[in-house]
Amino acid sequence: MKIALQLGLIPGQTTSDKAKWAKDHGVDGIEVGAIGGPHEQMYRQAEEINGLVPICSVCGNSRVDGSSSFDFLNPDKTKRRASIDGSKSALEFCGQVGAVGQIVPPIFGGPVVPDLSPWKSVAELEDELMFAAAQELGEWAASKNTKFMLEPLNRYEQHYLRKQSDGIRIIEAVKSSGLGLLSDFFHMHIEETNSPEAFRAAKGYTSHIHLADNTRLEPGTGDIDFVASFKVLKENGFAGYMAYECGISGSDEKEREANLIKSLDYMRECIAKA
């Protein structure tokens, strides 16, 4: 298993500085954000990283005009198309830099489609929209040798995908090699009754992992038992990236850097114990 950091969490003034810091501190990968339209900033970041550390993933989605876009389940066809096209652009980037894939929650908040029962319920309409989007994006991602990765969020952020099984259900229904599952320790700590068992049930589906403690700060600041889940992940044969997606504790840059280094050491110890 490999440890990655989101670019914004890495100490340094420039992208080049951050990449050098990551390399010097044994970080295995960098996760960048889907920003800029049509993602020119990601390409500039890739040039500055210059192969010092692999770009392992892209987090989030944006339209080609640069604005955030998570409208895959929106009744407005124009908004759905903008989200799908934004993902295609990000997946094109992923394929070019050799990233595992793009991480996307399909919606934030509650449902926006109408309830058309008894013909179709909200849940049925959302499933059909998601299946159609996932089919198109899964095929596109596969053609770029990367993955469109669905991210379940906790109940306070998303209603549609909350458990690992929710993401797996979509992947199994669509049956595309270009789809994957993002497993986030923070969200799982809220939604799953047993995170290690949830990982066990997701064997073969988890493509990438987000790391955060239950505090939403760096691992080691809370009470999540990472070793127990890492043991299951090793049993599952997972050898992919685990990227920090969290805040870093500390009152100033120097303290945050020290706490990040401490947490990286803690994660390596947990992997070793597993």
Alpha-carbon distance 38 to 222, whole Å?
38
pLDDT of residue 252: 96
The residue behind tokens 């504790």 is 249
Q: Do residues 158 and 108 touch, judged by C-beta distance below 8 A? A: yes
Q: Residue 236: what pLDDT? A: 98
Q: Which of 38, 116, 114, 120 is nearest to 73 (CA)?
A: 114
Q: Could you name the CATH architecture of 2-273?
A: Alpha-Beta Barrel (3.20)
Q: What is the pLDDT along the chain (274 residues), one digit of tens a residue?
A: 999 999 999 999 999 999 999 999 999 999 999 876 667 889 999 999 988 999 999 999 987 776 778 999 999 999 999 999 999 999 999 999 999 999 999 999 999 999 999 999 999 999 999 999 999 999 999 999 999 999 999 999 999 999 999 999 999 999 999 999 999 999 999 999 999 999 999 999 999 999 999 999 999 999 999 999 999 999 999 999 999 999 999 999 999 999 999 999 999 999 999 9
Nearest CA-CA partner of 95 in 49, 42, 48: 42
- Helices marked H in the chain: 15-24, 40-49, 77-97, 122-143, 164-174, 185-191, 195-201, 226-236, 253-273
DSSP string, 41-74: HHHHHHHHHTTSS-EEEEES-B-TTS-B---TT-
User: Tell me, what's the pLDDT at 65?
Assistant: 72
Q: What is the per-residue pLDDT for 238?
A: 98
The pLDDT, as a whole number, for residue 38 is 61
**pTM of the predicted model as reported, rounded to 2 decimal places:** 0.95
Q: For the chain, which residues make up each domain, given as ranges?
A: 2-273
What are phi and psi for residue 56, nearest 5 degrees? -95, -20
- On whether the CB atoms of residues 217 and 247 are closer than 8 A, the answer is yes
Pairing state of beta strands 2-6 and 241-244?
parallel
Q: Are 232 and 1 in contact (CB under 8 A)?
A: no
| Strand partners for 121 | none
